[in-house]
Every structure is written in C-alpha cells, then in structure tokens.
Structure 1
C-alpha cells in the first residue's frame, strides 16, 4: 500500500500482483507470474516463504520500474542547437538534418560558442560543442546515422574530409573564379570517372558524403555564375540531381537550387 501511495506502483495490476502469492523467478532481472505451487504447510515455513516471495517481488518490481523509466529517458530526443545563418556554411548542416530527419534548433549566429566566434557551431546535450561544418556533419552521422563500425564509417568520413580539405580549393581556389570544376584536372577528372558508374558517392545511395561534396560544387554557380561542364557531364548531372532534392532547396533556398539547374550546362 505504501508503495502505491508513494507513486512507485503506478497501476492497479502491479499492486494486485504484489498482493497475491506468486512463484518468483528472479533470473535476468524479470519476474514470471504464475499460480502459487502447492507446498506442505507449516507455521514457520509458510511465513518464511511468504516473506521471501514478497521481498523478491518487491525488488523485481522496483527494478523493472527503474528500467522502464531509464529506457524512456534514453529514447527521448532533444534537438541539437545550431548557431548559423543562411550566408555561411550552416545550410550544409541543415541539408543533412532535413534529409536524415535529425532534430535541430536554429540559434542566432551571435553570440556563438565557437572559440573564434564563428559559425556554424553546434551545441548538443552533455556539453558537446562542435565547429567546422565537416566536423558537425561527422558528429551527426555518428549520433544518428546508425553506423556502428570503423569500417562502415570510413566509407563516409573520407568524402567529408575530402570536401573540406581538397574540393574546397578546387571550387574556391585559383583566382576565386570557380572555373576549376570545369577545367582539366586530376581531382575533377577522377570525380567524373566515379560518377560515371554511380549516381551517388557511397553504395549508390544518397548520404552525408553527397551533402559534403555536392554542397561545395553547388556553391560555384551561385558565387561565380554559369559553368560549361561539357567535359564533365556526369558531375553536372550529379550537381543537378542533388539540387533537385526537396531538402536541398529547403536548406539553401529555392534561388540557390535554381541557379544550379540553370547555370550548369553541358
């Protein structure tokens, strides 16, 4: 009765169960319900058996209640907070979150918890703070992507790092013209070859790898105007394929998506 009054037993079934004689199996932290077995009864053995059964039942019930509460707390999702703006690389993060249905709250770019005051910067529960768009994408992939082994993770991380370390200089490098994506060059030649055999970069399925790589490619027509991609028809098709995804337009804006579709030719 005092358990019910204290709120530890929250339904009548649990209370009725504790009130009745039962066979208790404490294995694996669970309680098996059943009818009481017929036993020879003595005054001392009957009282001891009843006390033991009630003690085990009480312990198991409290353990089960605690496990249910802990399970509910683990499955409850709290949105991470992204400090950013449309004019920065924040839309890369938004795009991935929209595609993967990841809860995200937008916060003002200033003040930013970034050590240098920049954006994007992601804040999550447990004191987590991440800056640099690529690092944020990898964190969200680890937390929500369902990838459980280093081998699986490597298929995606290499492309995210490639986008930040190599592709950025191709897209925004020489004289800040953006023309390098259309000119002969080892990096873009290899990307053209890869995309001749697959619509997307990893297992022919859209992923965080495409978010990282195609975000940089699709900035070029917005910042630098039209590009003749006749040398790179597969890259051009890839850019338009990604820009046509509803989540891309939602993250970057309809105008951005339209620029890719109309200014990339060839």
Structure 2
C-alpha cells in the first residue's frame, strides 16, 4: 500500500491500516476506476489522501482492507464514518456534497449521465448482443456535444468525468473505433483529456 500524501512506507497485508490522517481517503489501485474518482476529486478541489493498494500482491484482500470494504473492491472512498464503494456511487456522492448539485433535478440529470457513461456507453462496446447499437449511441452523443462544450450547462461536471473516462477507455481498448466519423465527440474528448486535473490524476 502506498499513501500519496507524506512519505510512503512498505506495508504488509496483515498489518493494520494507519489511522486516518485526512478527512477524505480514496483507496485505489492500478487498473481500476479509482483514477476516475481521483480525477473528479481534483476537479472539485478536494485534498484527499490517495491510498494505493497493490492488487498483484492482493493487498485488497487483506483483513485490514476488509474492515474498510468487506467486498474487497477498489475504489473505496472514506469520508468520516462513511465507507463507500462503486465508482458511480462515489462520483455522485462527491458531486452531491461538493460539486454543486442543488436540486433533485440536478441530481437526476447527473445520475443519468453517470449511468450512461458506466453502463449504456460501455455496454455497446463490451456486451456482445449490444454492439449493433454502437452507431446509434455514438450518433446520439455526437448530436449532444455538437451543441455544447460540456454535457450539463456550460461548465465541466461529474457527467463529463463519467462519460469522458468511458470514451477514453473505449478509445484505448478498441483501435478500430473510427471516431473521425464523430468530429464533435473527437473535440469533446480533446477538451476533456486536456484538463489539468485529468492529466494530474493519470500521472
């Protein structure tokens, strides 16, 4: 386990986790959607402690981490007494508490896009019986981003984090996807991928 803030130390899975030193902690690991949550934390300006577990050493299966998340899944957010898993839930919690979602309508629209990014959009590339929906899904998204810089209003939001991350993952995983047929999506991806918080979370 590596902690981003302060000097890191070697950690053995059987050792107890250190006491909390930050109001917000994100347990994450390579190859997980923790990078998405880390990105959004940076976007809303939260100084969270990043605790990186090495999945190759099965650190997420330790008794200590089971106390944080019995399902042993990454990412997991700790905010005071709250222990929250599932990246979509983490995103929506952070957006609701820190990201300016002020009404039920705001929350519903944000949830729509988070679910779209993590299910609808991903499914048409990764679920075999839904791949025929790729062109229609991308064309619908193309029309949305052709008329605006961001998915909700004029500013970056949790919706853009979820959908932008999904598009980036698809682009890296499927070299045969011809995004040149969707110029507005291409421009949207450049705009999202160029954000300082995104670049920082990737390093």
CA distance in structure 2 between the aligned counterparts of 1:116 and 1:85, rounded to whole angstroms: 15
Query: Equivalent residue for 1:69?
Result: none
Task: Tell me if the contact between 2:77 and 2:85 (Cα under 8 Å) persists in the aligned partners.
Answer: yes
TM-score scaled by structure 2?
A: 0.75
Task: Tell me if the contact between 1:86 and 1:252 (Cα under 8 Å) persists in the aligned partners.
Answer: no
* Structure 1 counterpart SS, 2:100: coil
Query: Equivalent residue for 1:123?
Result: 78
Q: After TM superposition, give the deviation of residue 229 of structure 1 in Å.
A: 1.5
Comparing 164-173 and 92-101, the one that deviates more: 164-173
CA distance in structure 2 between the aligned counterparts of 1:227 and 1:187, rounded to whole angstroms: 13
Task: Tell me if the contact between 2:114 and 2:159 (Cα under 8 Å) persists in the aligned partners.
Answer: yes
Q: Which has the higher contact order (CA 8 A, sep 6+)?
A: 2
- The answer to whether structure 1 residue 157 and structure 2 residue 111 are counterparts is yes
- CA deviations 1:186-219 (Å, max 9, x no partner) are 2211101111101110013211100001101101
Query: Equivalent residue for 2:10?
Result: none
CA distance in structure 2 between the aligned counterparts of 1:99 and 1:171, rounded to whole angstroms: 27
Match of 1:84 among 21, 24, 28: 28
Match of 1:166 among 117, 120, 129: 120
CA distance in structure 1 between the aligned counterparts of 2:134 and 2:34, rounded to whole angstroms: 30
TM-score scaled by structure 1?
A: 0.59
CA distance in structure 1 between the aligned counterparts of 2:23 and 2:173, rounded to whole angstroms: 32
CA distance in structure 2 between the aligned counterparts of 1:185 and 1:227, rounded to whole angstroms: 10
Unpaired runs of 5+ in structure 1?
Answer: 1-77, 254-266
CA distance in structure 1 between the aligned counterparts of 2:48 and 2:76, rounded to whole angstroms: 12
Match of 1:199 among 149, 171, 176: 149
- The answer to whether structure 1 residue 147 and structure 2 residue 101 are counterparts is yes
Query: Equivalent residue for 1:107?
Result: 51
Unpaired runs of 5+ in structure 2?
Answer: 1-21, 54-59
CA distance in structure 1 between the aligned counterparts of 2:134 and 2:118, rounded to whole angstroms: 21
Query: RMSD over aligned Cα, in angstroms?
Result: 2.2
Q: After TM superposition, give the deviation of residue 184 of structure 1 in Å.
A: 5.5
Comparing 114-123 and 144-153, the one that deviates more: 144-153
- The answer to whether structure 1 residue 248 and structure 2 residue 198 are counterparts is yes
CA distance in structure 2 between the aligned counterparts of 1:243 and 1:108, rounded to whole angstroms: 23
Query: Equivalent residue for 2:4?
Result: none
| Cα 1:248/1:150, change in 2 over 3 Å | same
Query: Equivalent residue for 1:214?
Result: 164
Q: After TM superposition, give the deviation of residue 234 of structure 1 in Å.
A: 0.8
